[in-house]
């Protein structure tokens, strides 16, 4: 079957760095997405990786290793507004998205 | 800004009632999707549509139907609501299928939280 695993919850301190991991087993691979979802709000797109390596976008970076079925989202200089759930999703060979259950990130002052 | 608007943020219905959830997008996107989101589970796809009057079943279509009569509007229908359909329903749209990332980036609506008593 197809599966996406990510930690249920993580806690970090304001100003610090946090890495949220995502591992996947899917039928084929056509890219990996990260979305951010604040409580009670819509998920919003953060990043897309289809080739191995690191993609940097300001304070957020996303890394992919296709051979290991692994990605991480790296958040630097954490701010209180980064408290949210982070959703990992993989596009399979049929261009269908397989979603992880999300990682709830709690930022403490 | 791309906007996806869902008609109702909160609904409370009784078992057996017919429920309509409406979704409108204003960016001429080809694709529209209905997901449900439950605690501890990833988003689960109910139905999707790649074109007007076209619909495809997702992973959990049982108990649901959809309608896409106009490109901008995608409705989810629960013919006879049951308590196990209590959930958050998310509508999303994307520009189109294809091999480049932008075509597949989803824009979500704010969600409709449905409670079935």
Nearest-CB residue to B101 (from A31, A41, A97): A31
B80, pLDDT greater than 90: yes
> Average pLDDT for residues B34-58, to the nearest whole number?
94
How many CB atoms within 10 Å of residue B23?
26
A100, pLDDT greater than 80: yes
Nearest residue to B7 (alpha-carbon basis) of B49, B16, B19:
B19
CA–CA dist A86, A38 (Å, integer): 9
Q: Over chain A, what is the mean pLDDT?
A: 95
Q: When comparing pLDDT for B40 and A52, which is higher? A: A52
Q: Are B30 and B50 in contact (CB under 8 A)?
A: yes
> How many helices and strands, by DSSP H and E, does chain B display?
1, 11
> Average pLDDT for residues B52-70, to the nearest whole number?
95
Residue of B nearest to A35 (CA): B106
Provide the strand spans (E) within chain A: 3-5, 9-13, 18-25, 32-37, 44-49, 53-57, 60-65, 70-75, 84-91, 97-99, 103-108
CA–CA dist B65, B45 (Å, integer): 12
Amino acid B43: pLDDT:
94
Residue B97 touches partner A, C-beta closer than 8 Å: yes
Residue B5 touches partner A, C-beta closer than 8 Å: no
The CA-atom distances, in angstroms, between A60 and each of A34, A46, A91 are 11, 8, 21
Nearest-CB residue to B42 (from A31, A48, A101): A101
């Amino acid at each position: 079957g197809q599966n996406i695993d990510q930690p249920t919850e993580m806690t970090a301190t304001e100003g610090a760095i946090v890495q949220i991991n995502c591992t996947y087993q899917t039928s084929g691979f056509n890219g990996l997405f990260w979305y951010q979802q604040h409580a009670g709000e819509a998920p919003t797109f953060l990043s897309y990786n289809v080739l191995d390596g690191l993609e940097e976008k300001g304070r957020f970076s996303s890394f992919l290793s296709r051979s290991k079925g692994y990605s991480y989202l790296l958040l630097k200089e954490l701010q209180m507004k980064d408290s949210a759930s982070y959703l990992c999703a993989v596009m399979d060979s049929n261009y269908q998205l397989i979603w992880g259950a999300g990682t709830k990130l709690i930022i403490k002052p | 800004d791309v906007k996806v608007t869902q008609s109702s943020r909160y609904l409370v219905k009784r078992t057996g009632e017919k429920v309509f959830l409406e979704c409108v997008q204003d960016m001429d996107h080809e694709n529209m999707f209905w997901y449900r989101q439950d605690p501890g589970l990833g988003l689960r796809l109910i139905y999707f549509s790649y074109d007007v009057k076209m619909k495809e079943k997702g992973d959990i279509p049982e108990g649901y139907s959809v309608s896409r009569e106009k490109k901008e509007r995608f409705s989810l229908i629960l013919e006879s609501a049951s308590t196990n359909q209590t959930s958050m329903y998310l509508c999303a749209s994307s520009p189109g299928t294809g091999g480049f990332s932008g075509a597949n980036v989803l824009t979500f609506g704010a969600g409709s939280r449905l409670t079935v008593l």
